[in-house]
Amino acid sequence: MKALRVNELLPDLAGVALEELATPKPQAGEVLVKIRAATLGFPDFLMTHGGYQLKPPVPFSPGMEGAGEIAALGADVESWAVGDKVVCGGLGTFADYMVMPAERLRKIPDNLDFATAAATGSAYLTAYVGLVRRGLLQKDEWLLVHGAAGGVGLAAVDLGKYLGAKIIATASSDEKLALIEEKFAPEAVININDGFREKVKELTGAGADVIYDPVGGDVFDESVRCIGWDGRLLIIGFADGRIPNIGVNMPLIKGFSVVGVRAGEYGRRNPEKGAENQEAIWHLAAEGKITPQVHARLPLSQWRDGFDMMAKREIVGRVIFEPDG
């Protein structure tokens, strides 16, 4: 089979190559999944040069979520059949096949194709944990979503609309914002290159109730200046590259909370609620209440094009890698 491999942690994807490997065989309790769609996320890009918190030993195959069909069953697997369409996760989805524990698979809703199913999982789980569990977002509250063109940010715009919030979406280009307006119709869009503090205050009157920030850096600093009383500033990540600092006098004076969001860790520490979170997002997907956005579908052989799109911040939604041919 073909698989993308990170052989060395080097800048500019210098340690990454597409290679031929032996197709793995499932052991007891495992299944072999033929990958039909794999999602490119920002952590995948960071992992190619060791810039992510998860640092698997090299060599490894990147990709942490995907969708496909079951190609073979290991011993003692009775809950699945060959040909079942499933979503899967775990390191190694940028390959033709991967082995997964049977209990970690989920059936793809009938209304989703492989690419859309692959684009749903982590982005909407992060949005759900952030907005519902940690941000306690209420109907008619003002939600400011930064990095709204990225997969995680766009999921927050989409889910926030479903939850009845009033959405302000920010991004770094007018072209991206135009697509967000067309697809998701937020109450307002703002190009962050022009600043956003005063515009948010003008729109909301008292400041944003919830701010969803996967960007960090200067965006976080300015967010502190336009959050409302009793607001919740959700820390999703640091795509900007700079981890910001805050003087604790600001949350004290303005009465807001700074809240960390780690969707996977939330589920690990709260397994029952973690299962509820998963059920919630896949139920919404099955009913067509959320709309994952696929920016591009590329054959795995064009993996570099996808990574380049991410490095240049050209993506609105998700890039999906599919098998060649």
- pLDDT the model gives residue 241: 84
Please state the rounded mean pLDDT for residues 133-158: 97
Distance separating alpha carbons of residues 125 and 267, to the nearest angstrom: 10
Label residues 280-303 b or e (16+ Cβ within 10 Å = b). Answer: bbbebbeeeebbbbbbbebebebb
Label residues 19-47 b or e (16+ Cβ within 10 Å = b). Answer: eeeeebebeeebbbbbbbbbbbbbebbbb
Please state the rounded mean pLDDT for residues 194-223: 96
Please state the rounded mean pLDDT for residues 276-291: 96
- Percent of the chain past pLDDT 70, that is, above it, reads 100
| Nearest in space to 155 (alpha carbons), one of 67, 217, 239, 236 | 236
Please state the rounded mean pLDDT for residues 97-106: 95
Give, in degrees to the nearest 5, the angle at Cα 126 between 203 and 242: 70
Please state the rounded mean pLDDT for residues 262-271: 94
Beta-bridge mates of residue 96: none
Please state the rounded mean pLDDT for residues 81-109: 95
Averaged pLDDT of the chain: 95
Task: Indicate whether 325 pLDDT > 80.
Answer: no
Give the position of tokens 């770094």: 172
Looking from the CA of 170 toward its CB, the CA atoms found within 13 Å total 24
Please state the rounded mean pLDDT for residues 69-81: 96
- pLDDT the model gives residue 22: 96
Structure tokens at 170: 């920010």
Binned at pLDDT 50, 70 and 90, residue 240 comes out as: confident
| Nearest in space to 316 (alpha carbons), one of 149, 175, 195 | 149
Please state the rounded mean pLDDT for residues 291-320: 94
Binned at pLDDT 50, 70 and 90, residue 239 comes out as: confident
- pLDDT the model gives residue 134: 98
- pLDDT the model gives residue 53: 83
Binned at pLDDT 50, 70 and 90, residue 44 comes out as: very high
Please state the rounded mean pLDDT for residues 92-101: 97
Contact 230, 252 (CB under 8 A): no
Phi, psi values for residue 186, rounded to 5°? -70, 165
Please state the rounded mean pLDDT for residues 112-120: 96
Strand 142-145 and strand 208-213: pairing?
parallel
- pLDDT the model gives residue 212: 98
| Nearest in space to 230 (alpha carbons), one of 203, 257, 200, 252 | 257
Please state the rounded mean pLDDT for residues 243-257: 95
Ordered DSSP codes for 231-270: EEEEE---TTS------THHHHHHT-EEEE--HHHHHHHS
What are the chain's domains? 2-119+293-322 (3.90.180.10), 122-265 (3.40.50.720)
Give the position of tokens 């280009």: 173
Q: Where are the alpha helices (DSSP H) in the chain?
A: 42-47, 114-118, 121-128, 151-162, 174-184, 197-204, 217-223, 249-254, 263-269, 271-286, 303-311
- Percent of the chain past pLDDT 90, that is, above it, reads 93
Bigger pLDDT: 158 vs 42: 158
Residue 119 neighbours by CB distance under 10 Å: 30
Distance separating alpha carbons of residues 99 and 90, to the nearest angstrom: 10
